[in-house]
Structure formats: structure tokens, C-alpha cells
Structure 1
Amino acid sequence: MYKVNEIFETIQGEGSFTGVPAIFIRLQGCPVGCSWCDTKHTWAVNPDLQVKLDSVMAKSAETEQWAAITAEQLLALFQEKGYQARHVVITGGEPCMYDLNPLCNTLHAAGYQTQIETSGTFAVQVPAKSWVTVSPKVNMKGGYKVLQSALDRADEIKHPVAMDKHIEQLLQLLQQTDISNKLIYLQPISQQAKATALAISYCKKYNWRLSVQVHKYIGIA
């Protein structure tokens, strides 16, 4: 059973799949504690706020309510809703608190591709064909360390930046990581102009890529 806070179809606005129609599965639960997190309603798993799937799908605002759902129920929901996207983004919260193999294998068997968005602070339990986006969270309130195993598994590393120290943190993380087959993105925190200028300068310096959270600029979920 997966604890799900939201399910919706939209356009992926970040990283390698920017512009791709996608179904987002937002899982409940995250102890990492990022100060700038824009989904803090997914942090706590309160048993008193467990609801039925219908209630989750009927949400009109962000809440801490969640539903326990199987992989098969999620697949049936996609078909019931008539979702056309074939790219599924599993995010959170921190999705790697869960073993995602059953969910991803079920989706792959039905013809979907999967992408995982994780902080890199939990072991990444996914099939080999899943695309893994690690957005490393360093020195956050929760005290979790970014795992080398998560960085090694990443297909892309998408690092949030606002100050030079964030670049220094990324460079330190990459020292022990083979990035020859990985894509490296810098993503300005909160669309700040200074953060964007900083990210652009370092993208040019290191031949990295820029991720600008397109969905926030155009005003979609």
C-alpha cells in the first residue's frame, strides 16, 4: 500500500522531461525538512487524516489528507480518469521512503514509463528502467545525509541553488560520483532573479543545464 496525497495529470516542468505530459503521484511522508519546500503538507503521516481515495481525488486545496492505495488501484484510477499521459512522476514527500518496485513494475507492464524525484537521502528501490532524478538536499533540518548510492543510481542530478555555497555542496557531492552518463541541472530556488543569474553563470562554467520550473512560470500545477 502506498500513502498518496495527490494524483493529477499535468505537464512536467523540471529537468530532462520538461514539457512532457505526465501523471504525478505525490506520496505522503518526508522527514528531510527543507526550509523552502513547497509541499510541506506532505511531510507528516497522520493516521487521523487517512481518507478514502475519492476524497483525495476531490481535493480543491493542499491538505495533509492521504489515502492508502495499491499499485493496481492506481493503474485502475488512471484508466477511470482517462489520463492520456504515459509518463508517470512519483514524487512527494520523499517517495524513496517506500519500496517503489511493485508500483513501477505494474506501471511498466501497462506501458507507462516512470520517473522518481527524490532527495537522495533514502535508498532508491526501483527497477533499472525507471528514470531517477536526485535533487540532493544537504544539511537540512531533518539531519539526513545524501547517500552515495542514490547519487550513483541517478540518471539526472537536479540541484536547488540560491547561493554560492549550494554550488560548493554540489561539487563536494560529485567528487566521488561518476557523472559521465548523468545530466546535471541547477534549479534556482523560488524563481529568485539572483538565484537564476547564479545558476546560469555556473551552468556556463561547468557545462551543466538549467531547470527553471516552467510550470510555476506559466501557472499550472
Structure 2
Amino acid sequence: MSFIEQTASNQLAVNELFETIQGEGVFTGVAAIFLRLQGCPVGCPWCDTQHTWDKKEADKIAATDLIMKTADTPQWSDLSGEDILALIKTQGYTAKHVVITGGEPCMYDLRELATVLESAGYRLQIETSGTFEILTSADTWVTVSPKLDMPGGFQVRCDAMTRANEIKHPVAMEKHIEALDELLARCPVQPGTTICLQPISQRPRATELAIRTCRLRNWRLSVQLHKYLSIE
């Protein structure tokens, strides 16, 4: 599988840019602009954005075509931070919370993008697997959804766990809770970091496990609100 190597270039391979509400984690219910980047080598079996895994030159399209996309496709546009800001303004988006997701957004150096958007009054949130170095501004809210023992063979980085403002862990079985405990023992988070459990695919058994564990540990439940509402 081909994927993007992290680079100092200010160009980002953008798969989608759209406005909705954040459906997961601490910012659930907040109006948000989603910036979805192309490329991910982690290989999560339950991933619902597998069309973002590979970055192929044949799938490159113009920014004007990107905005017109109405379905999940591997097509992407090469955009700078200034290009992205211009698209946000052109589209008339009013949300001030920008969620950078993927794919795996931390395959890119996001510091220039953060400077551009924060200077324009936006708050940034990154959703990452924690398997790449996190290069962004100090004010960016970092959500690490640790991907353990995935087919890609990447390890969750301790520096990513330390940087996290929020841990959002997908669970279906007790072994997923145990794996998170082992990770937290190996890579402790900072005091005050929010830990959310997110049932995989809204399965009743997974949801019951997540609720029970959150009650016992005073953690937080993340229910993927956008899926219940059938919105993007």
C-alpha cells in the first residue's frame, strides 16, 4: 500500500472539506469544519474511511472539484493552508472549530496550517492514531485515538500520548479496555487528560461495556452522535 511520507512541505493532500457538527469526544455537538486528509498506513479493520488510505496521483483533482464531491472517494486536492482558508471563506462556513482528521493527519507537518487558521480566529482539533509525531501549534486540541496491534504494524508513540488533551479509545470487548490500561501504564498521559470510550459500530454489547467502564472509572462516553443522526 502506498502512503504519504511526512514532509516539511506546506502542501496537504485534502480528501474532504465540509461543515457539520462534531459527533465524537469532548467537543460532541460543536459546530465544526472537517478537514479530511488523504493517506493512512495504519489499517484499522473497522475504519469507515478506507477510501482515504492510499494517495495516488491519478486521484488528484482541482480544489473546485473537491468541494463538489457528494460521495466518499479517494480523490484529493493538493492545498496549502492559505488555500484551505480561502475555501472555507468561499464556502461561507461559519463554524470556528476546525477538525483535522483523515486518513492519518499527523503524517503531515501541520504547523503552518495551524498558524494560518489560528491567525484567522479558528480553533484546531486533530484526531490522530498516535502513531506519528504530532507537529502542530501549542494551542491545538489533540485527540489521540490509539490504534493498537493494527495490520500496518505501527506503534502508538509515548510522545503522542503525552501531548494528548483527550484519549478516545474504540472498544468492543474487555480486551480493548485491558489494552488501553497497558498503553496508559507504558505511556502515561498528562493530569487532566480526558479519556473517552467509544463503542465500535454502536453494538449494544460494546455500548454496555463502555458505559459500565466509564461509570466505574469516571471516564467519558463517546457515542458517535453523527451516526445516530445520520449526518456526515
TM over 0.5: yes
Which secondary structure state, in structure 2, belongs to the residue aligned with residue 187 of structure 1?
strand
Give the gaps of 5 or more residues in structure 1: none
Aligned pairs (5 A) from 1:14-163:
14-163=24-173
The structural deviation recorded for 1:113 is 0.3
Using the alignment, how far apart are the partners of 2:189 and 2:162 within structure 1?
7
Deviates more, 1:26-35 or 1:56-65: 56-65
Out of 183, 195, 202, the position equivalent to 1:184 is: 195
Which secondary structure state, in structure 2, belongs to the residue aligned with residue 23 of structure 1?
strand
Partner deviation per Cα, 1:115-136 (whole Å, 9 max, x = no partner): 0000000000011100000000
Counterpart of 1:155, as a letter, is N
Report the CA distance shift for 1:204/1:60 in structure 2 as closer, same or farther (over 3 A): same
**1:167 corresponds to:** 177
Normalising by structure 1, what TM-score?
Answer: 0.99
Using the alignment, how far apart are the partners of 1:180 and 1:197 within structure 2?
27
Give the gaps of 5 or more residues in structure 2: 1-10
What's the Cα RMSD here?
A: 0.7
Using the alignment, how far apart are the partners of 2:70 and 2:213 within structure 1?
39
Moved over 3 A (4+): none
The structural deviation recorded for 1:178 is 3.5
Partner deviation per Cα, 1:182-221 (whole Å, 9 max, x = no partner): 0000000011111000101111111110000000001100
Using the alignment, how far apart are the partners of 2:189 and 2:15 within structure 1?
34
The structural deviation recorded for 1:43 is 0.1
**2:3 corresponds to:** none
Deviates more, 1:163-172 or 1:175-184: 175-184
**1:213 corresponds to:** 224
The structural deviation recorded for 1:179 is 4.1
Count of residues paired in the alignment: 221
Counterpart of 2:214, as a letter, is C
Normalising by structure 2, what TM-score?
Answer: 0.94
Which secondary structure state, in structure 1, belongs to the residue aligned with residue 112 of structure 2?
helix
Partner deviation per Cα, 1:5-55 (whole Å, 9 max, x = no partner): 000000000011000000000000000000000000000001111111111
Counterpart of 2:211, as a letter, is I
Identity of aligned residues (%): 57
CA contact (8 A) 2:164 2:189 kept: no
